[in-house]
Structure formats: C-alpha cells, structure tokens
Amino acid sequence: MTRPVAAVTLAALVVLAVLAPAAPAAAQAPAVSPVTDAVLADPPPESWLNWRRTQDGWGYSPLDRITRENVGNLRMVWSWAMEPGSQQTTPIIHEGVMYLASPGNIVQALDAATGDMLWEYRRQFP
C-alpha cells in the first residue's frame, strides 16, 4: 500500500470511528414537528404548549376520555420526583413528550405515557 493510499485509508477509519458511535444516538432521537404560531393559536387536543394549554389561559381540555362515569376509576400510572427546591413548573406537552423545568436550571423530557426520561439538560454555571 502506498503512503497516500494508507493516509486516506487511515483518515477514513478515523472518521468512521468518530462518527459510528453517534449513529445509534441519532437513530433514537424522535422526529419532532416545529411549534409554529398557528399551532400555538390552535393546539392539537392532546398538546399543552402554553400555561393552561391555550394562549387565552382558559385551561380547558377538549379530550373526552375522562367522563363523569369513569373519573372514579382513575389511578396513578406514573409519577416523577423532581429536584429539591421551589416548584412552580407548568409542564409543556408536545407530541407525547412532557417537558419539565426543575430547580437548578434543569430541563427534562419525559415520555408522557410512561414517565420514562427521554433526555435531560443540566445547565452548568462557571
């Protein structure tokens, strides 16, 4: 193998070694639709994109799965322990993901159906 061919081969292997571990992580990230002004003005029924769901702060949910007949049968499916400190967060829900802001500059994304953490960001201060 000549030196130029060996150098190109080595460079290609280095690039593959660096990029290959990132591929599974990128494959796991769900595609998320952007939240536009139109979506904020008229959110899908299952979304809570603002405090109290809509821009007018009404707090009404158009979902109809919980009724007077079945409300007594509701049970906790999951719960989430947040970081210690003052809690005044209002979760945002978009496409089945619940976004929470916790004390200490922490943002977490949870699967709204299961409570499993999808990702977490912890802002570090110098």
Predicted confidence (pLDDT) at residue 92 exceeds the cutoff of 70: yes
Q: For the residues of 15-46, what is the DSSP string, one character each?
A: HHHHHTTHHHHHHHSPP-----HHHHHS--TT
Same domain, 1 and 58: no
Q: What are 117's strand-pairing partners?
A: 110
Same domain (yes/no): 9, 41: no
CA 13 to chain centroid, in Å, comes to: 34
Query: What's the domain count of the chain?
Result: 2
* Separation of alpha carbons 113 and 98, rounded Å: 9
CA-nearest of 29, 63, 27 to 43 is 63
| pLDDT at position 28 | 61
The reply to whether 61 and 118 lie within a common domain is yes
pLDDT band at 126 (very low <50, low <70, confident <90, very high): confident
- Examine the pLDDT at 66 and tell me if it is beyond 80: yes
Residue 8 clears pLDDT 90, i.e. is over it: no
**Whether residue 108 sits in one domain with residue 54:** yes
Please tell me the least confidently modeled range out of 65-69, 75-79, 80-84, 86-90: 86-90
Domain containing 60: what range?
A: 31-122
Same domain assignment for residues 22 and 44: no
